[in-house]
Amino acid sequence: MLTERMNNLTTMPDIMPSATPNEAEIAAWKALPRDEQVSRMTAALSHPDCSILGTANMSDIRARGQALAAKQRNG
């Protein structure tokens, strides 16, 4: 089991959770065993960037995203 997991990490190191996966990434993720998916998700969420606390709430984030989208649409 551990050998299989190590082989997965070696042969498929770029398969990580994504908020915007393409079809190939979805298929590759689904091909991983469940325990490997959990392991990779845990590793991704353990990254230091995931522990940064901010003061923005969901409304703030949404408003910022809408402002950026409007700016891109309007040039």
Rounded to whole angstroms, how far apart are CA atoms 36 and 31?
A: 10
The pLDDT assigned to 23 comes to: 92
**pLDDT value of position 50:** 76
pLDDT for 67 equals 94
Would you give per-residue pLDDT tens digits along the chain (75 residues)?
445 544 444 455 688 888 888 999 999 999 999 999 999 999 888 888 877 888 888 899 999 999 999 999 997
* Amino acid (one-letter) located at 26: I
Residue 48, pLDDT score? 85
Three-state DSSP string of 29-51: HHHCCHHHHHHHHHHHHCCHHHH
Q: Which of 24, 29, 23 shows the shortest CA–CA distance to 44?
A: 29
Using the structure block, give the residue that is written with the tokens 């998700």: 41
What pLDDT is recorded for position 32? Answer: 93
